[in-house]
Amino acid sequence: MEYRIGKRFSFDAAHHLDGLPAGHKCARVHGHTYTVEVVFAADRLDEPGFVTDFGDLAPFGAYLDEYFDHRDLNDVLDVPPTSELLAAHLAHWIIGNLEPLVQGRLESVRVSESPTSWAEFTPAGRAQ
């Protein structure tokens, strides 16, 4: 048996993508209201019956606010600022900085640039 929880965060940021065909709209600087959804899982629940207390995920929200909100992602990331690579970056941050402090393990990170599209990263060995 496995339990899962998810929490959504959001931030606003700009970016542009290099290496696209001439005239591609994503080559121009533009912005999104990003939604980031994290999923944590556990085989057993901690007291009083949590995978992870949602409040314990606050440091991740603070990280997004400090380093990503109202920023140019091209200046923040060391990789092209695609949703796929942003999801991977955020997953690695959670694994290194937040996961050791909370009950449960990160299953996936999903990043949406719009209400109709998303990219998801699942760390190796954690397939759903």
Which residues are tagged catalytic? 26, 70, 113
Can you tell me the distance from the alpha carbon of 105 to that of 116, in angstroms, rounded to the nearest whole number?
A: 27
